[in-house]
Each structure stands twice: as C-alpha cells, then as structure tokens.
A and B are shown apart, each in its own frame.
Chain A
Amino acid sequence: MDQLNAWFTQLLAGNAIFTANTLGFYWNGLVTTVQLVFLCLLLGILLAIPLAIGRGSKRWWIKWPIYAYTYVFRGTPLLIQLYLVYYGVVFFNGIQDTIFWEVFKDAFYPALIAFTLNTAAYTTEIFRGAIKNTAKGEIEAARAYGMSKGLMMRRIILPSAFRRALPAYGNEVIFMLHASAVASVVTIMDLTGAAYYVYARFYAPFPAFIFVALIYLCLTFSIMFVFRRLEKRLLAHLRPRGA
C-alpha cells in the first residue's frame, strides 16, 4: 500500500492540476453520476412496464393520457424538465417548513425525479414497440394453451418483448448517461460538475474537460460491451444461421 501510495505521489508530482484533491473530486463525481443514472434507469423501467402495457390498451382513457405523457416528455428538453422539478420544489411556498424539505434541499432528488420521468417516457415507447412486434404465432399458441391475458403477458409477451427491446434500451442507457451531465446545472457535483469546478479553479479547460470526456468514453464503452454480450446471449435465436 505504501509502495502504491509512493508511486502515485510520484506520478502526480509536478502536475499542478491533477492532484490527489482534484482526482478526489472526479471520483466523487463519478460516484454521483453512476448513482443518479443507475437509480433513474431502475425506477424508469419499473414505471415503464405498466405504462407500456397500458399504452397498448383499447380503452382511450388509459391509452391517451400515457401517450400525452410520453409525447410531452420526449418532445421537450431534459433541461426544462429538470428546471421545472427543481425550481418547482425549491420555490414551492412553505416547503422549507415541512418534512419534505429534508429530502428536497439536496438537488439530488429533484434531479432523480426529472431523470426518472424522462427515461420512463422513452423506455415506455421502446417497450411498447417491442410488445407490438410480438409474433402473432406466439400469442396464438399462448391462447391455444388457454392462458389468461395476464399469464400470457407475463410468460409470453413480456419476456420476448424485453429481448427485442434490448438494443434500443442499450442506446437509451447511454443516452441517459450523457444526458445526466445537465445535473451539474442544478448544483449537483456529478462528473461534469467536477470537471467544471476544476476548469474554473485552474482556468484549464483542456485538461479538465478532456479528462472527464475520457471517463465518459470508458463508461460508454463499458455499457456498450455489457449490452453486446447480453444481446449475443439473449438474441442468439435471431442470428442468421451458420454465422
């Protein structure tokens, strides 16, 4: 450990910008970004599954409100949604005196809400497209087995739809990782926030932003790698034969 420490100190020696202190900032930013993106994706999926099923409903009072929700959230910038939630909470009269303030005085939660609502809208549309493209034969077979609608959804439609949604969902994950950079605007010290801090403190845009760009690149490639592997496993039946 001492050796490692010494090696590290030596590595950083003579480097005015990337000291242990600023690297700590980047590390904390990385943790915040990953937490934020992971949580919003998880909550987004949980929201999107019932919404995607409802979006295909025959009843207009289920179908249309969900369509309106996805249309509005996909048609406006995430930054606006973030401002709406963040300032909507901060400037809500009297919230400072309630118990909610304990949660919302940290910008993390308004950002998490905005990001969740945003990714849920995109994920709903991705899942809906996948559900809609279920092969007719699969549904017929399920019916022939006498499955109820709920059982058919659970055992036949959703599992196959999830697989088909995988490539598009992988893009959404990367999109969300990149979109999360706007969190830095509402005082959150995520990766981009850390880079901006380092830039502002040392007036060194190139090291500060190129370093953070490399971190984002690594994250993006890792996500791509994971999804490639998943696709290979789960979509093996769709690959051309003999390939």
Chain B
Amino acid sequence: MIDLQGYGPRLLEGAMVTLELALLSLVLAVILGLLTASAKLSRNRAIHAIGTLYTTLIRGVPDLVLMMLLFYGGQIGINMLTDQLYDAFDVDIFINVDAFVAGVITIGLIFGAYMGETFRGAFQSVEEGQMEAARAYGMSPWLAFRRVRFPLMMRHALPGIGNNWMVLLKTTALVSIIGLTDMVRVAAEATKATHEPFLFMLPVAGIYLIIASLSEWGFAKLSKRYSTGFGEASEWTN
C-alpha cells in the first residue's frame, strides 16, 4: 500500500475514524432534528420555546467553541454530578468521557439544530390533505407518520440533509483539535515531524473530496427515489 514515510496505515485508520464519526453523528443529528422539528411545530408553548432556543443558540455559536465547551466542560460537569451523587446517596460511579463519544455527541448536537430547521420546513410542505386522507383510512398517528408524512417530507428535506451532511463531514476535522485521532490529526502530526505538509495534507483533502463526491452521487439517487410521482426527478437533484 501507499507508505507515506510509514504514516500510510495510520492515515487510513484515521480516515476510518473520520467516517465512523461522521456517520454516527449523522444518525444522532437526524434523530435530534426530527425531535426538534416536532418541538418547533408543537402547539405547546414551552416545547416550542425549547426547540427555538436550542436551534438559535447552536446556530449562533461556532462549532469549535461548542465542541471545546462540551469536551473540556463535559468531564468536569460529569465529575461534579457524580460527586453530588456520592455525597447525597453514597453511590460511587466514575464516568470517563471518551473523546470519540464526546465528538459524536457534540457534532450530533450541533447538526441536530440544522437538521431541525430542514425538517421543519419539509414537514410544513406536506399537504394537510394527505394526512387527512391517512386519518380517514384509520391509520394510527405512528403509521400515518411512517407511511405518509415521512416519505412525502423526505422529498423536500433531502437537498437540505445533503447540504448538512457535507458540512458535517467537514466539521469532523475539528475533532482533531480536541484530541481525537482522525485523519487530520495524523496528517498534522506527520507534517510537524517531517516538515512536509503537502505530502500528508493533500491525500487527506483528496479523501474528503472522494467521500463528498460519493455522497453527492448517493443523494442524487435517493432524491430520485423520493421524487417518484412528482415529475422530472432532475429538478431536485441539483
């Protein structure tokens, strides 16, 4: 394989970390996004306010600052919590914040806010008549969501999800700053050791481009699928 002065295998491992991190955060972000969208569309004032506060705060602060806050603050916060538990109930637990888990939670939390906005717009663009029809068929709320609202919503949400995914993928590079060994960190270490930035940074940039291009292709296929029955699919793929 490509050796890259012995850094080749480590770079590949780092690439796997990047990919795993990105995919797991995406799952978390989609779940949080759906919850946030429902909260923001809720008639309950308090729930609506919480959803709005979450999206506004997260989208107004840089990813890196949030990441540092959650990563450096997370451990201290959890320690304080477990200390209190120990004082109050004599329960002795120790939770060590793993850098990878912290990374997934942070990125998921950040992009949950962006996904929330995407899903909210998409939910609103589903015609009410469709849901009325589903109710008229006697579908339970969950079945109506799964069979009617969700597939119809996805057609509007996919371009936004695609964009968010591309940004999320690039944001994973930031975890190298808080100490997670993704491919950017390996490349940065190799650069400092060998003084050859282009040898390591360019392949890493290339891997990001490959993942981005493959995802673009995948999203084009997906949106074609979710646009069946809505005329020219190519309208939605750009």
Residues in A lying within 8 Å of B, measured CB to CB? 71-72, 75-81, 83-84, 87-88, 91, 177-182, 184-185, 192, 195-196, 199, 205-206, 209-210, 212-213, 216-217, 220-221
Q: A80 and B208: CB pair below 8 A? A: yes
Known contacts A91-B195, A205-B73; A75 and B213 CB within 8 A of each other: yes
Complex contacts, B233 vs chain A, CB 8 Å: none
Known contacts A77-B208, A182-B174, A216-B62; A84 and B197 CB within 8 A of each other: yes
Comparing B118-126, B140-148, B198-206, the segment that makes contact with chain A is B198-206
**Cross-chain contact of B205 among A80, A88, A177, A216 (Cβ < 8 A):** A80
Known contacts A76-B208, A206-B69; A217 and B60 CB within 8 A of each other: yes
Q: A181 and B72: CB pair below 8 A? A: no
Write the nearest CB–CB distance from B80 to chain A, whole angstroms. Answer: 10
Q: B72 and A76: CB pair below 8 A? A: no
Q: A216 and B170: CB pair below 8 A? A: no
B82 within 8 A of A: no
Write the nearest CB–CB distance from A213 to chain B, whole angstroms. Answer: 4
Known contacts A83-B197, A87-B197, A195-B68; A77 and B213 CB within 8 A of each other: no
Comparing B23-31, B33-41, B183-191, B222-230, the segment that makes contact with chain A is B183-191
Q: B60 and A209: CB pair below 8 A? A: no
B76 within 8 A of A: yes
A88 CA to B201 CA, complexed, in Å: 10
Residue of A nearest to B172 (CB): A77
Complex contacts, B63 vs chain A, CB 8 Å: 178, 181
A178 CA to B205 CA, complexed, in Å: 21
Query: Which chain B residues numbered 65 to 121 have a C-beta less than 8 Å away from chain A?
Result: 65-66, 68-69, 72-73, 76-77
Complex contacts, A81 vs chain B, CB 8 Å: 205
Q: B65 and A209: CB pair below 8 A? A: yes
B64 within 8 A of A: yes
B139 within 8 A of A: no
A77 CA to B196 CA, complexed, in Å: 19
Residue of B nearest to A221 (CB): B60
Complex contacts, B166 vs chain A, CB 8 Å: 75
Q: B177 and A185: CB pair below 8 A? A: yes
Complex contacts, B77 vs chain A, CB 8 Å: 206
Complex contacts, B64 vs chain A, CB 8 Å: 181-182, 184, 192
Write the nearest CB–CB distance from A112 to chain B, whole angstroms. Answer: 18
Complex contacts, B65 vs chain A, CB 8 Å: 181, 192, 195, 209, 212-213, 216
Residue with the greatest number of chain A CB neighbours at <10 A, chosen from B187, B196, B197, B208: B197
A119 CA to B76 CA, complexed, in Å: 36
B173 within 8 A of A: yes
B57 within 8 A of A: yes
Complex contacts, A75 vs chain B, CB 8 Å: 166, 208-209, 212-213
A76 CA to B211 CA, complexed, in Å: 10
B176 within 8 A of A: yes
Q: B191 and A76: CB pair below 8 A? A: no
A220 CA to B63 CA, complexed, in Å: 13
B61 within 8 A of A: yes
Q: B76 and A205: CB pair below 8 A? A: yes
Q: B209 and A83: CB pair below 8 A? A: no
Residue of A nearest to B196 (CB): A91
